[in-house]
Amino acid sequence: MQLQRIIRIGLSLIIVAVFVLYTADKVPVPLFDRLENLSYDFRLRLTLPDTVDEKIVILDIDERSLADVGRWPWPRDVLARIVDKLFDQYGVKAVGFDIVFAERDESSGLNVLNQLAQGPLREDGAFLKQYRQLRPQLENDRIFAESLADRRVVLGFAFLRTYEEAEANRIGTLPEAVGDIEQYWTDRIPLFENIDYTANLQILQQAAHAGGFFDNPSVDEDGLFRRVPLLQVYGGRLYQSLAMAMVRAGQEEPDITIEVWDDPRSGYYAVEGVRIGDYSIPVDGTSAILVPYRGTRKHFPYVSMVDVLKGTADANVLRGRLVLVGTTAAGLLDLRSTPVEEVFPGVEVHANIISGILEQRIKHRPQYAVGFELVVELLVGLVMSFLLPFISPLLTLLVTVLAFGGIIGITMFAWVTWDLVLPMAALLLLTLSVFVFHMSYGFFVESRGKRQLAHLFGQYVPPELVDEMSQHPQEVTLEGQSREMTVLFSDVRGFTNISEGLEPKELTQLMNAFLTPMTQIIHKHRGTIDKYMGDAIMAFWGAPLDDPMHARNALLAAFEMNGRLKELQPEFARKNWPEIRIGIGLNTGVMNVGNMGSEFRMAYTCLGDAVNLGSRLEGLTKQYGVTLIVSEATKHAVPEFEYRELDVVRVKGKDRPVKIYEPIGQIENVAKPVRSELRRFHKALEAFRQQQWDAAEREIFSLSQENKICAVYGLYLDRIMHYRNNPPGVEWDGVFTHETK
């Protein structure tokens, strides 16, 4: 016992070591990262403010605006009118475009006029006069630029980080940088560096108040927008995000400062935050901020662009506000996946960041969170590893619950009170892993005998049924039950002669080689082996688990047994073993099934008249020269098969006659000539039972000549000859009585 405890402690400490190495960034475990992200998402959704921030307004290029103005992009003079209205009529504080204007606006037709003025109409005085008057009104980019001038308008742009992107999209002019970054810090601070950009036309960017990037290189591997950088580097210079530019535009352009913890003695340095005037923003090492989502979409006032254009928007909603121009129209593809909603407007991501900065409501995972995680892992891991092997399962569960509660309580308290994102998932997973290990260790060691018993039981019941029984124990009972089932009896023809011609060892090998594949087939079709009776097999379907298709599964098994036996004959011949032929009887009916026997030995078996009839049907296969006979009940239960009616018989021990059939195959697989032969034979049987001997004899004789291997035809020809000489009488019901089993 002491050795077992030492082993348990040792293995438990290995589990703890894996988690410690992961936290120390020595062993990458992507699963832990994904779980940590999920725990962050859970906490975020649990504590969403779920309130509307009216300081920021989304000016939406929505479906209604597109339907009224036309498809995007709109002429720039239209955008100029919108900007004029926003500042002059509605008195907004600042406007940010979550859009890049990288190409010239040629929608006005000015290019055509220029070509005419320089070409065929260059000497047409009247045209040139009109041309000079119209030209200023058609220069949409200049008109838009004039509307931006001397107003707090921020234009968006995107950085490019790969050469493939840069070669395809190198366009526009960057806004003024917000500062330089020295090589000393470039080597130590892992800010995102870029090789090119897609920016706005020079005339527009120079007229605008500022610019900010809206691309996000911090998207997590699962595609969710949890973090967005506030700063990126291009050409050794710092550029601000659209959200940061909007905050500054609304606050008289305060300076930006990167707060860095730098300890030259230890060589430790880390980005702690970014400061904008009086606002301190906690960020990670790449200057990325955890997006402080307020809730799902529509947690900011939305104003349709067309309402501003027409002057019908509510002035109280817009006056003095920060306005972000973006789109929720699905066709413009500015939708993102976020922790709060799978399809989320990209413009509202920027709005959430601005709102979080202004309200100082930013979550932060500080660098010392790694130290916290290591301390808790060692504390919880060591305590549980050395304590759990010595206490009961109930106390083990209590200790685990307390550890879970403590971890969740501390991390949630830090989240709500101090806006700290402390690691949770790895700590909970460590606690759960140690608990599961200690509980499983004892369980699996103690249940070895149970598994051996299940293996032994699996020799008689299909393994998949054993699995189902363990998954649904409430559906299984060993008590006697009466239920409809199908029973199969199989017997080797001439087994006595076979056994007398073989040595005992060879006979054992032969029977094993025969019974093993037959049993596999029965198991494959969900059958239960009742018993082996020397060369005979008894199996049933429909217990211990219910099987609505018991008759069909039993019939399929019988067909496959005959087919497999044919495949075995060449192998038996090579070993000088005699040819084996079998007969199979199937019957469907109500049977008593359960654990039956004596106090010395019990067996799970089935009993009843329906079982006895199945045994009798197997015995009749020899007399009718067929390998498989089923009862009328089985035939009705599996109507998708074609059958040859063999007889109406009264078997030994039963007074009530039954119809018996030989299954031929599934209807769609039976050839038309065979089906025609069956119809002819069934018609001949009707004539036979009506004592129309000549008509029956002619048809059956004709069939016997066409199919010489069907022994049933010869049997009926003999009966007709017998009944001609010994008429059965007018009361004869066509039933043949068998006096032997």
Q: Is 384 in the same domain as 346?
A: no
State how far the Cα of 616 lies from the Cα of 491, in Å rounded to an integer: 11
Give DSSP secondary structure letters for 655-721. Answer: -S-EEEEEEEEEGGGS-HHHHHHHHHHHHHHHHHHTT-HHHHHHHHHHHHHH-TT-HHHHHHHHHHH
Q: Which of 419, 446, 473 is a domain's end point?
A: 446
Tokens of 528: 């239960």
Q: Is residue 127 within 8 Å of 185, Cβ to Cβ?
A: no
Tell me the backbone φ, ψ of residue 171, rounded to 5 degrees. -150, 150
List, for residues 521-570, the tens digit of each pLDDT value: 998 998 988 888 888 999 999 887 788 999 999 999 999 999 999 999 99
**Lowest mean pLDDT: which of 206-220, 256-270, 294-308, 699-713?**
256-270
CB 44 within 8 A of CB 295: no
Question: Cα angle vertex 656, ends 652, 657, to 5°?
Answer: 80
Using the predicted structure, report yes or no on whether residue 455 has a pLDDT greater than 70: no
In a domain, 262, yes or no: no
Q: For 330-334, 447-451, 668-672, which range has the lowest pLDDT when averaged over its residues?
A: 447-451
Q: Which positions ≥6 away from 669 have C-beta within 8 Å? A: none
Pull the structure tokens for residue 149.
Answer: 């001038």
- The answer on 630 and 502 residing in a single domain is yes
Whole-number pLDDT of residue 468: 60
For residue 512, count other CB atoms closer than 10 A to its CB: 9
Residues 6+ positions from 536 with CB-CB distance below 8 Å: 489, 490, 491, 492
**32/275 Cα distance (integer angstroms):** 32
- Residue 199 CA to residue 171 CA, distance in Å, equals 6
pLDDT, tens only, 491-522 = 998 888 888 888 888 888 999 999 999 999 99
The predicted-structure confidence for 311-320, as pLDDT tens digits, reads as follows: 999 999 999 9
The strand pairing partners of 278, in sequence order, are none
Indicate whether 449 pLDDT > 70: no
- What pLDDT, on a 0 to 100 scale, did the predictor assign at position 206? 95
Which residues lie below 8 Å from residue 331, measured CB to CB, with a gap of 6+? 66
Residue 166 has a pLDDT of 55
41 and 61 in one domain? no
Co-location of 654 and 679 in the same domain: no
* Residue 43, helix vs strand vs coil: helix
622 CB burial (10 A radius; 0-12, 13-18, 19+): middle
In the chain, how many domains are there? Answer: 4
- Asked whether residue 61 is assigned to any structural domain, the reply reads yes
Instruction: Identify the CA nearest to 347 among candidates 99, 157, 71.
Output: 99
Q: Classify residue 422: in a domain, yes or no.
A: yes
What token pair was written down for 670? 């039976």
Does residue 326 lie in a domain region? yes
The lowest-confidence range among 17-26, 249-258, 293-302, 436-445 is 436-445
Same domain? For 342 and 487 the reply is no
Task: Report residue 456's pLDDT band, with 50, 70 and 90 as the boundaries.
Answer: very low
Last residue of a domain, one of 304, 324, 358: 358
CA 175 to chain centre: 45
What CATH number corresponds to the domain at position 660?
A: 3.30.70.1230
The three-state secondary structure class of 62 is coil
Whether residue 93 is found in the same domain as residue 177: yes
Q: What is the pLDDT of residues 130-150, one digit of tens each?
A: 656 656 566 788 899 999 999
Tokens of 403: 């550890």
Range of the structural domain that residue 504 is part of: 483-665
Residue 598 forms part of a structural domain? yes
Same domain, 88 and 177: yes
Report strand pairing: 268-276 vs 196-198.
unpaired
Percent over 90 (pLDDT), the chain: 54
Rg of the chain's alpha carbons, rounded to an integer?
43
Buried b (16+ CB within 10 A) or exposed e, 282-294: bbbebbbbbbbbb
Q: How many residues does the chain have?
A: 741
The answer on 734 and 645 residing in a single domain is: no
pLDDT value of residue 620: 93
Q: Which two tokens stand for residue 116?
A: 């005419």
Encoded amino acid at 609, one letter: D
Q: How far is CA 557 from CA 100, 519, 552, in A?
A: 70, 10, 9
Confidence at 451, pLDDT banded by 50, 70, 90? low
Q: Do 640 and 587 share a structural domain?
A: yes
Do 504 and 587 share a domain, yes or no?
yes
Using 50, 70 and 90 to split pLDDT, how confident is the model at 123?
Answer: low
Query: What local confidence, expressed as pLDDT, does residue 676 receive?
Result: 93
Whether residue 11 is found in the same domain as residue 81: no
Domain annotation covers residue 407: yes
Hey, what amino acid is at 270? A
What is the Cα–Cα distance from 300 to 351, expressed in whole angstroms?
Answer: 8
CA distance 348 to 302: 10
Given pLDDT bands bounded at 50, 70 and 90, which one contains residue 453?
A: very low
- pLDDT tens profile 627-660: 999 999 999 999 999 999 999 998 876 778 999 9
Residues 418 and 526 in one domain: no
What end-to-end distance do the CA atoms of the chain give, in Å?
Answer: 61
Alpha helices in 474-630 (DSSP H): 495-500, 504-524, 550-574, 609-624
Cβ proximity of 431 and 403 under 8 Å: yes
Position 476 confidence tier, pLDDT thresholds 50, 70, 90: low
DSSP 3-state assignment of 93? coil
Residue 115 inside a domain? The answer is no
Distance in angstroms (rounded) separating the CA atoms of residues 347 and 225: 12
Record the tokens describing residue 88, joined without a space.
Answer: 């002059």
- Where helices occur in 97-213 by DSSP H, the ranges are 110-118, 125-138, 140-148, 163-169, 183-186, 202-207
Final residue of a structural domain among 396, 424, 446: 446
Has residue 39 been placed in a domain?
yes
Which position has the token pair 């020295």? 182
Rounded distance, CA 465 to CA 524, Å? 10
pLDDT (average), residues 728-737: 83
- Do the bridges between strand 268-276 and strand 279-282 make them parallel or antiparallel, or are there none, so unpaired? antiparallel
In Å, the largest CA–CA distance within the chain is: 130
- How many CB atoms lie under 10 A from the CB of residue 197? 24
178: which strand partners? none
